[in-house]
Amino acid sequence: MVFEVMAELPVEALGEVLALIETVRCDPYAWPCVADLGSVEEIREAWSDLAWVQYEPVDRTVQIREIGWAG
Q: Which CATH class is domain 2-69?
A: alpha beta
pLDDT for the residue 1: 63
Q: Which of 47, 18, 13 is nearest to 30 (CA)?
A: 47
- Count other C-beta atoms under 10 Å from residue 31's C-beta: 18
pLDDT in tens, 19-68: 999 999 999 999 999 999 999 899 999 999 999 999 999 988 999 999 98
Residue 58's closest CA among 28, 18, 22? 28
pTM: 0.84
Q: Where are the domains of the chain?
A: 2-69
- Taking 90 as the threshold, does the pLDDT of residue 9 lie above it? no
3-state secondary structure of 48: coil
Q: Find, among 64, 62, 46, the residue nearest to 1 by Cα.
A: 64
Question: What CA–CA distance (Å, rounded) separates 14 from 16?
Answer: 5
